[in-house]
Amino acid sequence: MAIDFSKHTRRGALAVMGVAAAALLTGHAAQAKVEGDTIILGSAISLTGKYSTNGIHAQNGYELAVKRINEMGGVKVDGKSYKLKVVYYDDESTPARGAQLAERLIKQDGVQYMLGPYSSGLTKAIAPISEKYKIPMVEAEGASRSLFTQGYKYLFAVLSTSEQYLASAITLAAEIAEKNGKKPSDVRIAMAFENDPFSQDVRAGVMDDAKKYNMQIVIDDKLPRDLSDMSTTLTKVRAVKPDVLVVSGHSKGAATAARQLAEMKIDTPIVAITHCEAAKIISKFGATTNDILCPTQWAETLSYSGKYFGSAADYDKLFKATYEGYKNVPYQAAQASAAVLVWKDAFERANSLDKDKVRDAIAATDMMTFYGGIKFAPEGNNIAKPMVLRQIQNETLNVVAPSKYASHPVNWPRQVPGS
């Protein structure tokens, strides 16, 4: 097995390495932040790997907004009209790769304006890098509360933070308990959350809400990232009979939960699951998903509207006309489009391409869009838009909470699948 390396071989090795190193170093010419009349935005996004479905939703959202803005005259800065363009790299759904690619976008491609990746984990990996180089990043897919406690100055998020996902579901449970003559503190909660940064932050939000109402947490399971079976958690649910079951585990958590809830005929009166739309649980499992609560960042039925896409319903229509195969427009795409609108608005208000001036303009954003209001807290999260809670009623999603936005009353108790 052992090969005796001669002097020649060793020098050959050096030669091979030298040539290869040269190939690496000359492989890419640095791009400028603005090429001619085009402003270049950069994003590492999950085009492959476990987040790629949602990564592609987000990319479609970015592209639709870029196309729309360019069609409507582009971005006007200092009397000149610019087109937008996004440079993408595939982060393969892993934080380490995302961090490397962010560095590559900034240092090798000279990108000065960033759009976010998909998922909180990736955003957590990329935010320190854009912060380090003082490159503003408007992100649309990282909701973790912990992103906004680090004092980042260059990170802005158009979406509502993680603790709001299930807050209305818990409030709803408290209200229902009171209506039935019970105390909110009698409510018992079962939780199953994926072991990833996003879902664990959602869990922390539920824990805080439960504490507020003095509710009791009876099951607190973590779900693995490659979840294929959660029947053990559901067996526990049957054993301890909680009043509320909350599940969060991206699309696969939603799909697995929806399926096994029906299979095991779990009769918990309130069930809330994140990522229902992205997992397409209604078209997959039909009527068995009725009465499941689904928190969402955005719904096409809401009455928001803005200059670029018109109303939420108009966006919905345009998106479906542009991209094939969408029955519901996932909010992941809508918020990605909103992030591009923030950039456009900020360039024009700054009336400059200087990244620090644009950063200050982003911080001062106060606009209305099809996606809802956008106004950033000093920490960078959007405080002008609520999360809404929808319920699957007769296989359609209807907004049931908060009451200001509700179009339908909530069904309680949940109808047990197959009964």
| Residues in 171-200 that interact with another protein by CB under 8 A | 192, 194-197, 199-200
Give CA 313 to chain center in angstroms: 20
Nearest of 274, 320, 268 to residue 297 by alpha carbon: 274
* Binders in 73-92 for another protein, by CB under 8 A: 89-90
- Least distance (Å) between residue 58 CB and another protein: 14
- Structure token pair of residue 113: 């304006």
**Alpha carbon distance 383, 120 (integer Å):** 18
Nearest of 120, 158, 159, 153 to residue 345 by alpha carbon: 158
For residues 161 and 297, which CB has a smaller minimum distance to another protein in the complex? 161
For residues 20 and 72, which CB has a smaller minimum distance to another protein in the complex? 20
For residues 70 and 195, which CB has a smaller minimum distance to another protein in the complex? 195
173's enclosing H/E stretch is: helix 167-179
- Least distance (Å) between residue 34 CB and another protein: 18
For residues 129 and 302, which CB has a smaller minimum distance to another protein in the complex? 129
- Tally Cβ neighbours within 10 Å of residue 96: 10
Residue 100 binding another protein, by CB under 8 A: yes
Phi and psi at 249, nearest 5°, equal: -165, 50
For residues 16 and 32, which CB has a smaller minimum distance to another protein in the complex? 16
* Binders in 360-389 for another protein, by CB under 8 A: none
Give the x/- contact pattern for another protein in 52-71, rule: CB under 8 A. Answer: xx------------------
- Least distance (Å) between residue 185 CB and another protein: 20
Nearest of 306, 314, 415, 407 to residue 366 by alpha carbon: 306
- Structure token pair of residue 296: 């969402």
- Least distance (Å) between residue 153 CB and another protein: 12
* Binders in 238-297 for another protein, by CB under 8 A: 238-240, 251-252, 255-256, 259, 262-265, 279, 284-285
Binder to another protein among 108, 351, 393, 415 (CB under 8 A)? Answer: 108
Binder to another protein among 188, 203, 355, 359 (CB under 8 A)? Answer: 203
Q: C-alpha angle 409/178/392, rounded to 5°?
A: 30
**Alpha carbon distance 289, 266 (integer Å):** 12
What is the identity of the amino acid at 145? R
- Least distance (Å) between residue 367 CB and another protein: 28
- Least distance (Å) between residue 409 CB and another protein: 29
Binder to another protein among 38, 67, 83, 133 (CB under 8 A)? Answer: 133
For residues 253 and 306, which CB has a smaller minimum distance to another protein in the complex? 253
**Alpha carbon distance 77, 254 (integer Å):** 44
Using the contact rule CB under 8 A, the part of the chain among 32-40, 75-83, 120-128, 393-401 near another protein is: 120-128
* Binders in 211-240 for another protein, by CB under 8 A: 221-233, 235-236, 238-240
Whether residue 105 contacts residue 114, with contact meaning beta carbons closer than 8 Å, is answered with: yes
Burial class (CB in 10 A: 0-12, 13-18, 19+), 232: exposed
Residue 48 binding another protein, by CB under 8 A: yes
**Alpha carbon distance 99, 28 (integer Å):** 19
* Binders in 2-41 for another protein, by CB under 8 A: 2-3, 5-18, 20-21, 23-25, 27, 30
- Structure token pair of residue 222: 């973590």
Q: Which residue blocks in 275-371 are alpha helix, DSSP H?
A: 276-279, 281-285, 312-322, 331-350, 355-363
For residues 6 and 303, which CB has a smaller minimum distance to another protein in the complex? 6
Burial class (CB in 10 A: 0-12, 13-18, 19+), 79: exposed
Binding residues with another protein: total (CB under 8 A): 98
- Least distance (Å) between residue 293 CB and another protein: 21
- Least distance (Å) between residue 228 CB and another protein: 5
